[in-house]
Amino acid sequence: MGEGLRKDGIAPGRLPADQYAANFGDLHPPLARHEALVEADRCYFCFDAPCQTACPTSIDIPMFIREILTDNPLGAAETIFEQNILGGMCARVCPTEQLCEEACVRETAEGKPVKIGQLQRYATDTAMAAEAQFFTRAAPTGKRVAVVGAGPAGLAAAHRLALHGHDVVIHDGRPKPGGLNEYGIASYKAPGGFAQAEVDYVTALGGISIETGKLLGEDFTLAELGGSFDAVFLGLGLGGVNALRAEGEDADGVDNAIDFIATLRQADDLAALPVGRRVVVIGGGMTAVDAAVQSRLLGAEEVTIVYRRGKEHMNASGYEQDLAASKGVTIRHWLAPRRVLTEAGRVSGIELGYMALDETGALRPTGETTVIACDQVFKAIGQTLATDGGGVALAGGKIAVDAEGRTSMPGVWAGGDCAAGGDDLTVTAVAEGRDAAESIHRFLSGGSNG
């Protein structure tokens, strides 16, 4: 039995002690002032800018880039935060290559977009470091709103509601606020405790209190909230995990990618975190890529992502797939799990069936199989709604909402991953939380909730 990288089974301490900090450091170092000025100078300040249209929160991108160019990063931050109060996290985690930067005319013309995400980070980091606050609450309205879920959707909703003068209490089942910003996003995208710093920045506005360790459905009900608050916003995210539906999935060494990532995000000592020598991750989305890359960074010798369809069908962007490849992760397509193989009750491999599209376009097993030897299997095949909150109507397994985020229950709104429609992205959750808050504000100001 080898040591370190070559130690069989699932073991901690695969790397030299000083390697962990280097592996989990910032994926993209921030731009220095002169780099930001040079990059901002590449922008054409387009009229009807396609980058702005492509941003789910509609940030005035040409405006904030011009403010950076005139050496006014605080003004730029204000422009960003007006639309997206979590602009700091979005600058780090947005798949910009599929959103603003894909739409940038410089991308179309020369294949090299303006680095909008990096510039956004430059502006927002400058403002947060200076503790600059740009917004003042309206006079108190005397109305109280309960927000359930302190993820991006809940935080964005809470900020906008507090801005309008309402008092907001956020309830979250986890010990820390931030949602997947704190427990899900890959460590190298937001290192240095950024998620908590951002929660502090958002709540510094005032009028927002956060109660953690309080689970809707266990510690309180929607009916109780309805009795003591004037409106409720649900930003519950997706707490459930899909099953593999493969024989042997309960074996020791088969784990949820989401739980692995959450543990990793909360670990004080990464060297103490066990990981397999050979890891197989089942799935094709961002969670699969993050679990695979972080397994490699923890010292797993061989990491393979297995996805049942082709490269072009993967939810993980081309950029994320390239990132995985650059970290030494192998991605294999057209393979679905059939059976987890075990020796003495522990994972020793996974049997996979080859898949293909038939003439009707349906995915079918071809009947051929293959085996990948491994010590650990991560399931990353999608998340599901863990609770309907106590009676709101669902659509397609998520909470049904109208264009303003209103649920089937009067006085209750929802947004972010738990709500039907929209991409499961941080920036979309922010946009939906913010827009639902505007709808709640209209309702509390005497309008109707439908």
Ligand X SMILES: Cc1cc2nc3c(=O)[nH]c(=O)nc-3n(C[C@H](O)[C@H](O)[C@H](O)COP(=O)(O)OP(=O)(O)OC[C@H]3O[C@@H](n4cnc5c(N)ncnc54)[C@H](O)[C@@H]3O)c2cc1C
Q: Which residues of this chain interact with ligand X, rule CB under 6 A?
A: 93-94, 148-154, 171-174, 179-180, 184-185, 189, 215-217, 235-237, 239, 258, 261, 286-287, 290, 386-387, 416-418, 424-427, 429
Per partner kind, with CB cut-offs from 5 to 8 A, the member of ligand X, ligand SF4, none near residue 416 is: ligand X
Pairing of strands 254-256, 376-379: parallel
The minimum distance between CB 105 and ligand SF4, in angstroms, equals: 5
Footprint (CB under 6 A) of ligand SF4, residues 35-54? 43-46, 49-51
Footprint (CB under 6 A) of ligand SF4, residues 167-226? none
Q: Look up residue 102 and give its two tokens.
A: 């894909």
Footprint (CB under 6 A) of ligand SF4, residues 54-73? 61-62, 65
| Radius of gyration for the chain, computed over Cα atoms and rounded to the nearest angstrom | 23
Q: What is the DSSP letter of 420?
A: S
The minimum distance between CB 51 and ligand SF4, in angstroms, equals: 3
CB neighbour list of residue 381: distance below 8 Å, 6 or more residues apart: 242, 244, 282, 283
Per partner kind, with CB cut-offs from 5 to 8 A, the member of ligand SF4, ligand X, none near residue 31 is: none
CB neighbour list of residue 12: distance below 8 Å, 6 or more residues apart: 271, 272, 273, 274, 275
The minimum distance between CB 102 and ligand SF4, in angstroms, equals: 10
H or E stretch including 349?
Answer: strand 346-357
Per partner kind, with CB cut-offs from 5 to 8 A, the member of ligand X, ligand SF4, none near residue 43 is: ligand SF4
How many other CB atoms sit within 10 Å of the CB of residue 174? 19
Of residues 25 and 142, the one with the C-beta less far from ligand X = 25
The minimum distance between CB 55 and ligand SF4, in angstroms, equals: 10
Of residues 106 and 296, the one with the C-beta less far from ligand SF4 = 106
CB neighbour list of residue 258: distance below 8 Å, 6 or more residues apart: 184, 241, 287, 380, 383
Of residues 65 and 381, the one with the C-beta less far from ligand SF4 = 65
Footprint (CB under 6 A) of ligand SF4, residues 95-114? 104-106, 114
Q: Contact between 116 and ligand SF4 (CB under 6 A)?
A: yes
The minimum distance between CB 278 and ligand X, in angstroms, equals: 21
| Cα 443 from Cα 448, distance rounded (Å) | 5
Of residues 256 and 348, the one with the C-beta less far from ligand X = 256
| Cα 42 from Cα 60, distance rounded (Å) | 16
Of residues 48 and 218, the one with the C-beta less far from ligand X = 218
The minimum distance between CB 325 and ligand SF4, in angstroms, equals: 27
Q: Contact between 140 and ligand SF4 (CB under 6 A)?
A: no
The minimum distance between CB 318 and ligand SF4, in angstroms, equals: 19
The minimum distance between CB 47 and ligand SF4, in angstroms, equals: 9
Q: Contact between 398 and ligand SF4 (CB under 6 A)?
A: no
Residues that bind ligand SF4 (CB under 6 A): 43-46, 49-51, 61-62, 65, 104-106, 114, 116
